[in-house]
Structure 1
Amino acid sequence: MSDQAVVETATPSLWASLPLPSSAAEWIARAEQVAEILAEDALARDRANQAPHAEVQLLKDSGLVTLLGPAAFGGGGQEWVTALAVVRTVSRADASIGQLLGYHYLWAWAVRLVGTEPQIAAVEELYTTNTLFFGGAVNPRDGDLTISEEGEELVYNGRKSFSTGGRISDLTVLEGVLDGTETHIFVIVPTDQPGIQFAGDWDNLGQRLSESGSVVIDGVRADWASAAGFENKVYLPLTYNSLNVPLVQQIFSNIYLGIAQGAVAAAAEYTRTTTRAWPYGGDNKQEATEEFYILSGYGELQSKLWADEALIDQVDRELSAVLHAEREALTEKARGDVAVRIAAAKLRIAEDGLEAATKVFELTGARASSNKVGLDIYWRNLRTHSLHDPLPYKKREVGEYVLLGALPAPSWYT
């Protein structure tokens, strides 16, 4: 069986005769079906490190891609609290695909974050009716793309060292600065065009199928009319526009929780079926599941993850409520209050998740370090993505909020 055989044989017939889920519980159940398929060969696909075209097709066939799309255009019409739960569910089985799906949801919502009402309607109809998948070339650590103005067209040029979604996306979000100004402009363009050149150079420790390699943008054109949030070439800002960063940070929290939950579940199954009791401790047990230190270890890890899950669930609900409220109603304080809660959730699950992904080796035994077991995939994935931005700055944001009442200032990372 080839590395991608399980995913590739998961044909649309699984769901072709079924209507889209109609409730949050049904959508999460659909995500669990997808996760079961992905889990079958997640390790083999990770090692093969091929562009996950079949995996993204699976997301499309299952309907998950249009979960947030308006029902009027054939989408699920769901809220963000459900989308975040779906990202977490998929990430338990394959965190790379969970990341791709989370970023897709982010960029699909980007037009609501910064667009005008006509732009929102046009983009949501386009991606929902055609089941299109989003990627984005908006890494803020690199220099901005440059934008030149040619009549009624904007022309983008530059390079980004990270571009999640890459070769498997149908639409790409670009961001740059207009020449001679400090004006940032977002546009959504078709991915399949000569001016977008992906290097295919993502070869990292973890999240290996997230298609996060570099991209060169060479003369990509977009109409001024598609510049998100602009009317007559003038941008009218709202506090709501700055929710993109808190939103992506909370997507991260759900990816990390999914990884940690997956690690503990996989380790527990190995302990139940394979780990042997230690015969030299003076308190010999027949089964590993009777060992005090193993029971204690799993108890500690699961207690922390339950606490993290409770916090993340609550913050998911808080953020979802903000995202689905009237855009004009969002205040700087409300934005800051939810952003600091997101910072707290992220730093907590990043640290506890890394502990879980490491501690599981102590609870499973030496033979569990075999490459064929593959427990390393959880630590590799979480360690890689949790380096996205330094946790000490999240701790500082929470500390300043508690001690000084200071709200996190909107930036590319807060």
Structure 2
Amino acid sequence: MTTAEISGPDWSTRETPRTPEEWIARAGEVAAILASDAVERDRAAATPYAEVRLLKDSGLVTLLGPAEHGGGGQNWPTAYRVVREVAKADGSIGQLLGYHYLWNWAARLVGTREQWEHVEAEAARNRWFFGGAVNPRDDDVVIRDEGDTLVFNGRKSFSTGSKVSDVTVLEGVLEGTDKHVFAIVPSGDPGLTFHDDWDNIGQRLTESGSVTISDVRVPWRDAAGYVDKEFQPRVYNTLNVPTIQLVFVNFYLGIARGALETAIAYTRSRTRPWLHGGHERAVDEPYIIDIYGDLSAALWSAEALADQVAEEGLWFHEHPDEVTERLRGEHEVRVAAAKVQATEVALEVAGRIFEATGARSTTSREGLDRFWRNVRTHTLHDPVAYKRREIGVYLLQDKLPEPTWYS
């Protein structure tokens, strides 16, 4: 069974959610649909066209969009919770949705008011799904200036969303300068070639393979944040990294929550007590009780920190012109702390659940390994040791993290 064959509700007949609680509940409905065949879809690793259609039909893709154009009109703390809820069922789709939110918001982070108002209105009206080809570890895409037009050429080894997206965010450097340019282009542009080479152990449905960019043409007027070919800088421009890092935090925690809830259900119904333990039910085994208590306490703590940091970060999005380097740096330190906790807790939960579920739970049919594979794959995105260093250097030396592609 695939997601395309699952009979979900007729979303068009449902009222659009209005409150954060209603949007999180809508995400829970989507998650329930995804959970019904998550193991099979993970094994097949097929391009998730149907899954993205589900995100569109349910309205989740419009969550951050302006209400007057058909969007949800919600804020980032709600978006993070929605990502977490979807990731409980499917880490890949949680990642895709979180990246979509970031790239949709990137127009506001980097662009002029005229640019981002246009992008957000079009995205909400048309339910665009965003992908991005902005991997900073690769050589920069080179941009040629041809008067009124920019021409992008290069290759990126990662392009999350790729074929399932409607639009793709490109980034490159103007030839002969150090000026970076972001622009949004149709994902069907003939100059974009997606190579279908994403073949990792986890996050298998994220369509994160490489892309070749060949003579993709963009009008200068669409170069985000540029006026008369000059960039208009703000400290707020650098909030893309803390924002996406909080996306990571929340789909890690969502994966961990999914692993824990799935394991608890398995233990309640199928785990057998140890024959020498003196108990008739696995749920009465003291060491099993201890494992679930320990993992739950750790996860609840990490979730609480993530929610608190998300609320702290809301001020920056509501007051973009008041963001200072000091405030931005201190927020990044808090985000780093949430990232450290989420990484360590998610890996621990996804790995230790087997101690409580037992040997029979390791069959491929159960698919419990997918939680660990998913969180292990993406937590290698950038070394968590450097997040700990950001915190320590700030506390001991009062040095703020320098804004980079990773901090």
Give the match for residue 154 of structure 1. 150
2:360 is the counterpart of 1:363? no
Change (3 A) 1:228 1:110: same
- Separation in structure 2 between the aligned mates of residue 362 and residue 231 of structure 1, nearest angstrom: 58
- Separation in structure 1 between the aligned mates of residue 125 and residue 7 of structure 2, nearest angstrom: 22
Alignment counterpart, residue 295 of structure 1, candidates 289, 299, 303: 289
Give yes or no for contact 2:6–2:33 (8 Å, CA) kept in 1: no
Give the match for residue 9 of structure 1. 6
2:122 is the counterpart of 1:126? yes
1:7 positional shift: 4.0
Give the match for residue 145 of structure 1. 141
Alignment counterpart, residue 212 of structure 1, candidates 208, 213, 225: 208
- Separation in structure 1 between the aligned mates of residue 258 and residue 28 of structure 2, nearest angstrom: 13
Give the match for residue 327 of structure 2. 334
Give the match for residue 165 of structure 2. 169
- Separation in structure 2 between the aligned mates of residue 324 and residue 255 of structure 1, nearest angstrom: 23
Task: Give the RMSD, CA atoms, in angstroms.
Answer: 0.9
TM norm structure 1: 0.97
- CA displacement 1:44-76 (0-9 Å, x = unmatched): 111111110000000000000001000111111
Alignment counterpart, residue 391 of structure 1, candidates 369, 384, 387: 384
- CA displacement 1:209-247 (0-9 Å, x = unmatched): 001000000000000000000000011100000000010
Amino acid at match of 2:6: T
Give the match for residue 18 of structure 2. 22
Give the match for residue 379 of structure 1. 372
Alignment counterpart, residue 190 of structure 2, candidates 188, 194, 200: 194
1:318 positional shift: 0.9
Alignment counterpart, residue 403 of structure 1, candidates 382, 391, 396: 396
Change (3 A) 1:233 1:38: same
Question: Unaligned regions of 5+ residues in structure 1, if any?
Answer: none
Identity among equivalent pairs (%): 55
- Separation in structure 2 between the aligned mates of residue 10 and residue 118 of structure 1, nearest angstrom: 41
SS at 2:145's partner residue?
strand
Give yes or no for contact 2:157–2:209 (8 Å, CA) kept in 1: yes
Give yes or no for contact 1:55–1:97 (8 Å, CA) kept in 2: yes
Alignment counterpart, residue 342 of structure 2, candidates 343, 346, 349: 349
Alignment counterpart, residue 51 of structure 2, candidates 55, 71, 90: 55
- Separation in structure 2 between the aligned mates of residue 353 and residue 79 of structure 1, nearest angstrom: 25
SS at 2:403's partner residue?
coil
Give the match for residue 310 of structure 1. 304
- CA displacement 1:107-166 (0-9 Å, x = unmatched): 000010010011011101111101110000000000110000112000000000000001
- Separation in structure 2 between the aligned mates of residue 97 and residue 353 of structure 1, nearest angstrom: 17
Give yes or no for contact 1:8–1:54 (8 Å, CA) kept in 2: no
Give yes or no for contact 2:56–2:127 (8 Å, CA) kept in 1: yes
Which portions of structure 1, spanning 4 or more consecutive aligned residues, are displaced by more than 4 angstroms?
none
- CA displacement 1:165-215 (0-9 Å, x = unmatched): 010000000000001100000000001021000001111000000010000
Amino acid at match of 2:371: Y
SS at 2:12's partner residue?
coil
1:14 positional shift: 2.3
1:17 positional shift: 1.1
Amino acid at match of 2:366: V
- CA displacement 1:63-91 (0-9 Å, x = unmatched): 00001000111111101110010000000
Alignment counterpart, residue 27 of structure 2, candidates 20, 24, 31: 31
Amino acid at match of 1:56: V
Give the match for residue 96 of structure 2. 100
Question: Aligned residue pairs: how many?
Answer: 407
- Separation in structure 1 between the aligned mates of residue 62 and residue 99 of structure 2, nearest angstrom: 13
Give yes or no for contact 1:7–1:37 (8 Å, CA) kept in 2: no
1:10 positional shift: 3.9
1:406 positional shift: 1.3
Give the match for residue 229 of structure 2. 233
Question: Unaligned regions of 5+ residues in structure 2, if any?
Answer: none
Give yes or no for contact 1:7–1:38 (8 Å, CA) kept in 2: no
1:401 positional shift: 1.2
- Separation in structure 2 between the aligned mates of residue 101 and residue 314 of structure 1, nearest angstrom: 21
Give the match for residue 61 of structure 2. 65
Which deviates the most, 398-407 or 375-384?
A: 398-407
2:180 is the counterpart of 1:184? yes
2:245 is the counterpart of 1:249? yes
